[in-house]
Amino acid sequence: MTDTAAPAAPARKPRWTAQWKELYEEVIDTGLCTGCAGCVISCPHDVIGYDHQAGGYKPFHLEDELGPTDCIHGQKGCTTCTRACPRFRTWEAEADEHLFARTREPDEMSGIYQDVLLTRASDDYVHKMGQDGGLVSALLIWALDHGYIDAALTSYVEGDGTSWKAVPGVASTKDEVLAGAGSRYTYSANTLAIDEALERGFSKLALVGMSCQSSVPPVMWHRKVGKISKPIVFNIGLLCSKTFDDAIFPELFEAKYGLKKQDMVKMNIKGVFQIWMRNGDYHEINLKECHAWTREGCKCCPDFSAEHADISTGGIGENNDWTLTIVRTDLGREIISRMIDDGSIIARPGDEDPGAIDLMRRLSIVSRRRWPEFAEASVKVGVPPPKKKKAAAPAAEALPKEPAATTDGQAASNQAVADAQAPEGATGTAPDATAPEAPTTP
Ligand X SMILES: Cc1cc2nc3c(=O)[nH]c(=O)nc-3n(C[C@H](O)[C@H](O)[C@H](O)COP(=O)(O)OP(=O)(O)OC[C@H]3O[C@@H](n4cnc5c(N)ncnc54)[C@H](O)[C@@H]3O)c2cc1C
Residues lying near ligand X in the complex (CB under 6 A) are found at: 130-137, 154-155, 166, 180-186, 188, 190, 208-210, 238-241, 243, 313-316, 323, 417
Residue 87 near ligand SF4 by CB under 6 A: yes
Min. distance of Cβ 150 from ligand SF4 in angstroms?
Answer: 25
Task: Determine which residue in the list 19, 20, 37, 47 makes contact with ligand SF4, applying CB under 6 A.
Answer: 37
Angle of CA points 221, 181, 113, to nearest 5°:
40
Q: Tell me how far apart the alpha carbons of residues 166 and 343 are, in angstroms, rounded to a whole number.
A: 32
Q: What is the DSSP letter of 36?
A: -
Min. distance of Cβ 40 from ligand SF4 in angstroms?
Answer: 6
Q: Which ranges constitute the DSSP H helices of 51-134?
A: 72-75, 80-84, 91-100, 124-129
> Of 136 and 339, which CB lies nearer to ligand X in the complex structure?
136
132's contact among ligand X, ligand SF4, none, with CB below 5 to 8 A by partner kind, is: ligand X
Residue 240 near ligand SF4 by CB under 6 A: yes
190's contact among ligand X, ligand SF4, none, with CB below 5 to 8 A by partner kind, is: ligand X
Task: Determine which residue in the list 20, 21, 33, 225 makes contact with ligand SF4, applying CB under 6 A.
Answer: 33
Q: Tell me how far apart the alpha carbons of residues 264 and 262 are, in angstroms, rounded to a whole number.
A: 6
In contact, 118 and 352? CB cutoff 8 Å: yes
Residue 41 near ligand SF4 by CB under 6 A: no
Among positions 355-394, residues that touch ligand SF4 (CB under 6 A) are none
- Per CB under 6 A, the segment of 26-34, 330-338, 355-363, 378-386 that binds ligand SF4 is 26-34
**Residue 377, helix vs strand vs coil:** helix
315's contact among ligand X, ligand SF4, none, with CB below 5 to 8 A by partner kind, is: ligand X
> Of 85 and 210, which CB lies nearer to ligand X in the complex structure?
210
Burial group, residue 429, by CB count within 10 angstroms (0-12, 13-18, 19+): exposed
109's contact among ligand X, ligand SF4, none, with CB below 5 to 8 A by partner kind, is: none
Residue 84 near ligand SF4 by CB under 6 A: yes
- Per CB under 6 A, the segment of 120-128, 158-166, 206-214, 394-402 that binds ligand SF4 is 206-214
> Of 159 and 226, which CB lies nearer to ligand X in the complex structure?
159
| CA distances for 195 relative to 121, 176, 192, 202, 282, angstroms | 30, 17, 7, 10, 38
Residue 301 near ligand SF4 by CB under 6 A: yes
Q: Which ranges constitute the DSSP H helices of 76-151?
A: 80-84, 91-100, 124-129, 135-145
87's contact among ligand SF4, ligand X, none, with CB below 5 to 8 A by partner kind, is: ligand SF4
Residue 47 near ligand SF4 by CB under 6 A: no
Count CA atoms within 13 Å of residue 37 on its CB side. 24
180's contact among ligand X, ligand SF4, none, with CB below 5 to 8 A by partner kind, is: ligand X
DSSP character string of 313-326: EE--SS-TTSEEEE
Q: Tell me how far apart the alpha carbons of residues 293 and 296 are, in angstroms, rounded to a whole number.
A: 9
Residue 39 near ligand SF4 by CB under 6 A: yes
130's contact among ligand X, ligand SF4, none, with CB below 5 to 8 A by partner kind, is: ligand X
> Of 33 and 181, which CB lies nearer to ligand X in the complex structure?
181
Burial group, residue 428, by CB count within 10 angstroms (0-12, 13-18, 19+): exposed
Count the helix, strand and coil residues of the chain and give each as a percent rounded to the nearest 5: 35, 15, 50
Residue 210 near ligand SF4 by CB under 6 A: yes
Min. distance of Cβ 218 from ligand SF4 in angstroms?
Answer: 13
DSSP character string of 165-207: -EEEEEE-SHHHHHHT-S--SB---GGGGHHHHHHTT--SEEE
Residue 166 near ligand SF4 by CB under 6 A: no
Residue 211 near ligand SF4 by CB under 6 A: yes
Residue 36 near ligand SF4 by CB under 6 A: yes
Those residues with Cβ within 8 angstroms of residue 309's Cβ, 6 or more apart along the chain or in another chain: 209, 211, 214, 235, 236, 237, 326, 328, 332
Min. distance of Cβ 414 from ligand SF4 in angstroms?
Answer: 11
> Of 47 and 236, which CB lies nearer to ligand X in the complex structure?
236
Pairing of strands 282-285, 273-277: antiparallel
Q: Tell me how far apart the alpha carbons of residues 441 and 114 are, in angstroms, rounded to a whole number.
A: 35
> Of 127 and 368, which CB lies nearer to ligand SF4 in the complex structure?
368
Q: Which residues bind ligand SF4 (CB under 6 A)?
A: 23, 27-28, 33-39, 59, 84-85, 87, 187, 210-212, 240-243, 297-298, 301, 303
